[in-house]
Amino acid sequence: KYLLVFDFDETIINENSDDSIVRAAPGQALPEHIRQTFREGFYNEYMQRVLAYMGDQGVKMGDFKTVYETIPLSPGMPDLFQFLSKNHELFEIILISDANMFGIESSLRAAGFYSLFRKIFSNPSGFDKRGYFTLGPYHSHKCLDCPANMCKRKILTEYLAERAQEEVEFERVFYVGDGANDFCPSVTLTSADVVFPRKGYPMHRMTQEMEKKQPGAFQATVVPWESAAEVARYLQEVLKK
């Protein structure tokens, strides 16, 4: 059995969902004083402020849901998901994302692919008594390369350990992503594994830089993609072997 790990923003969907939800805000924009509170590495806290502002403006659950349900999938993603649906018994599929549970579930259910995923790891979110959309951090960690609220390497490492305890060993791990926070877990993969960084996005650039600086240090096979149909074709070839 193979483990297939997906990122969500700009990987499964073709946008960053945190930016997308601003479409539900008045005038589809955020005031400058909110935007100026953003600090590198503390995006989750920044989004908590964005959501509080949107709640103050009367943006409701249904408004957010509509945005999430209409974000387009990335090129070729429906093809990849259809391929995975047909070969479901060969792949265990999980999603690790720094977005939020409500948004991911809304989006995947609308696209019809929610049931493909055995587990989704993302920031907890929901609606409080006032009807405000709330967001929390996923966990705390000691990784210096990742945002304060989530290290995907820690999540993936713990998941593999937990599955090993349940006597599930994976022949290979496949990782599909785009961001700097997808690079962190991919560094831990072995030469049997494959990473699919989206072409021209941070994860792709970082794998290239590491290869230049420390040839051979990055062990997994790197297969960049523009359309997720390319990922489907690669996996198809793997199954033939």
What domains can be seen in the chain, in order of their start residue?
Answer: 2-15+71-240 (3.40.50.1000), 18-69 (no CATH)
Q: What is the CA radius of gyration of the chain?
A: 18
Q: With CA atoms as reference, report the closest residue to 37 among 20, 23, 50.
A: 50
* Catalytic positions, written as ranges: 7, 9
63 labeled binding residue? no
82 in the Ramachandran plot: left (φ > 0), alpha (ψ -120 to 50) or beta?
alpha
Give the Cα separation of 193 and 214 in Å (integer). Answer: 19
The pTM is what? 0.96
Q: What is the pLDDT along the chain (241 residues), one digit of tens a residue?
A: 999 999 999 999 999 999 999 999 999 999 999 999 999 888 999 999 999 999 999 999 999 999 999 999 999 999 999 999 999 999 999 999 999 999 999 999 999 999 999 999 999 999 999 999 999 999 999 999 999 999 999 999 999 999 999 999 999 999 999 999 999 999 999 999 999 999 999 999 999 999 999 998 899 999 999 999 999 999 999 999 8
9 labeled binding residue? yes
What is the maximum alpha-carbon separation in the chain? Answer: 56
Give the Cα separation of 23 and 8 in Å (integer). Answer: 19
Q: Read off the tokens for 161.
A: 């350990």
18 labeled binding residue? yes
The 10 Å Cβ neighbour count of residue 199 is: 14
What Å distances lie between residue 177 and 4, 8, 11, 13, 134, CA to CA? 11, 8, 6, 11, 26
CB 158 within 8 A of CB 165: no
CB 178 within 8 A of CB 213: no
